[in-house]
Amino acid sequence: MSVKDQINNIVIVGGGSAGWMTAAMLAKQLESKVSITLIESDTIGTVGVGEATIPPIKVFNRMLGIDENDFLKHCNGSIKLGISFENWPQKNHQYFHPFGRFAVDFDYIPFSYFWNKHRATGTDSNKNRPLQDYASAWHLAKNDKFSLPAKDAKSLFSGFDYAYHFDAGLYAKYLKGYSQKRGVKRQEGKVTQVDTNANNGFISSVTLASGQKITGDFFIDCSGISALLIDKTLGIEFIDWSKHLLCNQAIAVQTSHVKAINPYTRSIAKRSGWQWRIPLQTRMGNGSVHCSDFIDEQSAMDELMADVDGKLLTEPRVINFNVGRREKFWHKNCVAIGLSSGFLEPLESTSLHLIQRAIMRLVYLFPNKQCDEINTKLYNQQTIEEYEHIRDFIILHYKATKRDDSEFWKYCQHMPIPDSLQNQIELFSTHGHLDINAKDLFKQDNWLAVLTGQNILPKSVAPIMAYKQQIDLPRTMNSFYDMMEKTVKNLPNHEDYLKKNCLFQFDKM
């Protein structure tokens, strides 16, 4: 590639989590050799939610060279070991989606096959233990404990994983500092005009309300739901998934803590949606996610406010959203990252992850000025697969309900679902097998947690188990459980862990 083909000048429109995560990673990966300008508007602000994450965020921070404790200290961060789903398959029911694996696989056969055989054929009193009882993340979570995974691969506590809860605004601020140190220029102002090149349709410049024109070789649309470049300028359509994922409104409010800071997110199913509780070090994030066709805003607000603890720290804020994705994410010389590219509701905390994946995909497929179509096509195809995979996993939570106490849940039980999800449910229901691809975000253990948690169980034992007679199942299963119970007693409390390693230091920002 000749030097004149190289991208020298990148413009990022938007300074929410998407904008600053992108700026930070590009500054690092391009080794500050490319001019990067990020435009953000204080008057427009950011969406201001996005507090729960999944384990791969650790990899993103590590790639940036960020120290975990420093990041948690500055972003009001706490630990997340998984999600407690309450009242989902039915009222007064709880299950946990733990991060990491269930116990250990034997001889390349998934642990769940053994668990299922014990459940189906055992005669001992422990055969009805749910699968989550064999996840060390669950043992830690239910006791409000945390310490880093054991380094000894033989320990049952080496197999759990964790992510974070944090203040997304502070994370953006943290990454802004990181980016600016590496040469990213921040430009305050509102973009009011976007110009394209008449010959090839590429974006050539954006103009601010002040009249200042900013040119670039490559543009990244991180403008949130306004999708200023990808939609308003390039006209890429939004594919709506509200037929399968009904929720379209959220109400967010922050309160003070009254109880222990749980190392997990709570997702509590309500009449027409669900409620989140996300504990940060100094406050609780609460919110309702619901479908406005089934509940009006005031009733949703009343329901939420009746179910928060502690003092109100903010006024409740209503956020309307559409669930779906762009038809394309990269078009011409523009990539959409963050809410401008699409949105899947926050049930499994996947949005920041989609941002992270988009950024890394852009890094691997980083173009020259021509932005060859073969490159953009691959980027788009991989992103579509990722979106659809996560979409299916989220739909499963709604579809697998047995609740019939409201019109919303009745609809969910009977709604059409994508063929890909239908196949997965049927496959699992038969012998407990699953169709997992190497690139999938949600792996065997994630699907197992939600399927078995929602009471979808295999009708029969996996046939391969007929050849695995040598293991004394009741004894083995009991020893896993007892060992986890015993080990967890000696581990530190989550709050003590935070105090010792990464106490929030707002004044030191």
Binding range to ligand FAD, per CB under 6 A, among 223-231, 393-401, 431-439, 486-494 = 223-231
> Judged by CB, which is closer to ligand FAD: 17, or 136?
17
- Residue 205 lies near ligand FAD (rule: CB under 6 A): no
Long-range CB pairs of 463-468, under 8 A, 24+ apart, other chains included: 463/431, 464/109, 464/113, 465/109, 465/113, 465/114, 465/117, 468/106, 468/107, 468/109, 468/113, 468/114
Residue among 324, 346, 432, 453 that touches ligand FAD (CB under 6 A): 346
Interface with ligand FAD includes 224 (CB under 6 A)?
Answer: yes
Tokens at 9, concatenated: 């000048």
Which residues, other chains included, contact 34 with Cβ-Cβ below 8 Å and sequence gap of 6+?
A: 7, 8, 9, 10, 26
CB 337 within 8 A of CB 221: yes
User: Using the rule CB under 6 A, is 441 a contact of ligand FAD?
Assistant: no
Interface stretch with ligand FAD, choices 7-15, 101-109, 117-125, 415-423 (CB under 6 A): 7-15
212-223 b/e with 16+ CB inside 10 Å = b?
Answer: eebebbbbbbbb
User: Residue 249 CB, nearest distance to ligand FAD (Å)?
Assistant: 9
Report the alpha-carbon angle 20-25-28, nearest 5: 125
Structural Rg of the chain based on CA atoms: 24
Residues 326-345 binding ligand FAD (CB under 6 A) are 338-339
The shares of helix, strand and coil residues in the chain, as percent rounded to the nearest 5, are 40, 20, 40
Closest-CA residue to 339 (of 324, 359, 317, 349): 324
Q: Does 191 bind ligand FAD (CB under 6 A)?
A: yes
Only one residue has tokens 């997992």, namely 436
Nearer Cβ to ligand FAD (136/446): 446
> Which among 36-44, 322-330, 434-442, 456-464 is the span making contact with ligand FAD, rule CB under 6 A?
36-44
Could you give the CA distance from residue 400 to residue 450 in angstroms, rounded to a whole number? 9
Q: Which residues contact 80 (CB under 8 A, 6 or more apart)?
A: 52, 53, 99, 162, 163, 164, 165, 263, 264, 265, 349
By beta-carbon proximity to ligand FAD, the closer residue of 345 and 495 is 345
Q: Which of 250, 400, 461, 462 binds ligand FAD (CB under 6 A)?
A: 250
Q: What is the DSSP string of 279-291?
A: E-SS-EEEEEEE-
- Cβ proximity to ligand FAD: between 132 and 275 the closer is 275
Determine contact, residues 47/258, Cβ cutoff 8 Å: no
Give the residue, chosen from 23, 184, 222, 253, that forms a contact with ligand FAD under the rule CB under 6 A.
Answer: 222
Question: In the Cβ-directed half-sphere of 260, how many Cα atoms lie within 13 Å?
Answer: 15
Instruction: Find the helix packing angle between 57-64 and 17-29, rounded to 10°.
Output: 50
DSSP 105: -
> Among 10, 50, 133, 328, which residue sits at the site for ligand FAD (rule: CB under 6 A)?
50
Nearer to ligand FAD, 14 or 453 (CB): 14
**Residues 252 to 291: which contact ligand FAD by CB under 6 A?**
287
- Give whichever of 351 and 376 is closer to ligand FAD, judged by the CB atom: 351
Dihedral sign of CA atoms 52, 56, 62, 63 in order: negative
- Using rule CB under 6 A, residue 75 touches ligand FAD: no
* Residue 40: how many other CB atoms lie within 10 Å: 24
Q: Which of 314, 329, 308 is nearest to 388 (CA)?
A: 329
- Nearest-approach distance from CB 238 to ligand FAD, in angstroms: 14
Helix (H, G, I), strand (E, B) or coil at 435: coil
Instruction: Provide the minimum distance between the beta carbon of 175 and ligand FAD in the complex, in angstroms, as a whole number.
Output: 11
Q: Is 190 in the site for ligand FAD (CB under 6 A)?
A: yes
Q: Which of 11, 12, 15, 281 binds ligand FAD (CB under 6 A)?
A: 15
47 binds ligand FAD per the rule CB under 6 A: yes
Q: Is residue 352 at the binding interface for ligand FAD, with CB under 6 A as the rule?
A: yes
Q: Is there binding between residue 226 and ligand FAD (CB under 6 A)? A: yes
Q: Does 16 bind ligand FAD (CB under 6 A)?
A: yes
Q: How far is the CB of 363 from ligand FAD (least distance, A)?
A: 18
Q: Which segment (221-229, 253-261, 474-482, 492-500) binds ligand FAD by CB under 6 A?
A: 221-229
Answer yes or no whether residue 212 interacts with ligand FAD by CB under 6 A.
Answer: no
Dist. CA 83–CA 97, nearest whole Å: 5
User: Which range in 27-35, 39-47, 409-417, 455-463 contacts ligand FAD by CB under 6 A?
Assistant: 39-47
Which of 37, 53, 255, 424 forms a contact with ligand FAD (CB under 6 A)? 53
Q: Which stretch binds ligand FAD (CB under 6 A): 11-19, 89-97, 211-219, 500-508?
A: 11-19
- The number of beta carbons lying within 10 Å of the beta carbon of residue 373 is 10
Total binding residues toward ligand FAD, as defined by CB under 6 A: 37
Residues that bind ligand FAD (CB under 6 A): 13-19, 39-41, 44-47, 49-53, 168, 190-191, 222-224, 226, 228, 250, 287, 319, 321, 338-339, 346, 349, 351-352
